């Protein structure tokens, strides 16, 4: 199986893919295909260049990854799994701390270290890159350049760890999702998760209200509350149609095959302009023991 991830080698996306592979018991069976950016992972999947993709969805410091949310809306994909990666950012460079004038990283990496950068390098030029490992690769060119990336990339690209654990919060985690094309999603779910009822499942959907009216969102959320369904995440994202128009991304406990979930979604659908199912999948810490 070919897995599309953000590259080059050394990204947290690569770590997420390897972690998910090991968790699902597929170690040694899969090949990673490195992409220049997150959009390219979705495009590769769409063109059948890979079987599944692993992309970042949200970070505990910086929040959601906008491009991933947008492509989940725009592409015909299904979520079949998730994994959570502990993020440890380091400042990597060929030179010393006093030499550094330019700092590179993925926008999420820069955002997760915003306070550190303001305090330690207020005069440094900040540049965004496609990934943290791409930043590390570029930082090899000049001693006055540094990258925010994982400690593993220091050895990969022959860089010094100038400072470690530089993220603004001690605990820094990113949630990654595993996606595939909708027409192959169910096949992969059966292969990777089985049908063990002991697994704990999560379901993700996108809802578009279509028209703004008092209590519209409340009526939708009320269906979940009345059915005693636990929402684990809800977030709005611009619909890109007009200012102030939003779609809502909702995660909740349970499987679409559960009668209570089916009934709740059946009751919600007439109340919204669009309801898109992104998939039901095993939660990160709840994969079946058989895997």
For residue 203 the two structure tokens come to 């379901």
Q: Given the residues 121, 176, 224, 284, select the one marked as catalytic.
A: 176
Write the Ramachandran bin of 128: left for phi over 0, alpha for psi from -120 to 50, otherwise beta: beta
Give the integer Cα–Cα distance in Å for 167 and 60.
11
Give the integer Cα–Cα distance in Å for 246 and 64.
15
Q: Given the residues 11, 129, 153, 174, select the one marked as catalytic.
A: 174
Give the integer Cα–Cα distance in Å for 249 and 278.
10
For residue 62 the two structure tokens come to 């910086």
| Residue 176 known to be catalytic | yes
CA 256 → CA 69, 202, 203, 280, 282, distances in Å? 21, 9, 7, 6, 12
CA 285 → CA 14, 191, 237, 289, distances in Å? 19, 18, 27, 11
Enumerate the active-site residues.
174, 176
């Amino acid at each position: 199986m070919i897995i599309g991830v953000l590259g080059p080698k050394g990204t947290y996306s690569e770590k997420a893919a390897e972690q998910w592979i090991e968790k699902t018991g597929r170690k040694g069976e899969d090949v990673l295909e490195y992409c220049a950016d997150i959009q390219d992972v979705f495009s590769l999947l769409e063109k059948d260049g890979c079987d599944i993709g692993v992309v970042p969805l949200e970070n505990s410091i910086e929040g959601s990854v906008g491009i991933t949310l947008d492509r989940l809306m725009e592409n015909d994909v299904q979520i079949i799994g998730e994994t959570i990666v502990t993020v440890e950012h380091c400042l990597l460079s060929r030179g010393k701390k006093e030499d550094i004038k330019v700092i590179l990283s993925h926008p999420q990496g820069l955002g997760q270290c915003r306070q550190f950068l303001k305090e330690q390098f207020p005069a440094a030029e900040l540049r965004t890159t496609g990934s943290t490992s791409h930043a590390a690769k570029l930082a090899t060119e000049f001693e006055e350049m540094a990258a925010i990336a994982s400690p593993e990339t220091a050895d990969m690209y022959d860089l010094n760890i100038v400072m470690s654990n530089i993220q603004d919060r001690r605990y820094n985690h990113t949630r990654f999702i595993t996606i595939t094309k909708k027409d192959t999603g169910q096949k992969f779910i059966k292969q990777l998760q089985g049908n063990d009822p002991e697994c704990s499942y999560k379901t993700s959907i996108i809802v578009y209200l279509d028209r703004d009216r008092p209590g519209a969102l409340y009526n939708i959320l009320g269906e979940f509350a009345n059915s005693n369904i636990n929402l684990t995440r809800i977030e709005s994202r611009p619909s890109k149609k007009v200012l102030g128009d939003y779609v809502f991304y909702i995660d909740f406990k349970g499987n679409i095959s559960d009668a209570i979930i089916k009934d709740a979604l059946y009751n919600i659908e007439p109340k919204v302009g669009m309801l898109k199912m992104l998939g039901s999948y095993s939660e990160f810490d709840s994969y079946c023991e058989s895997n």
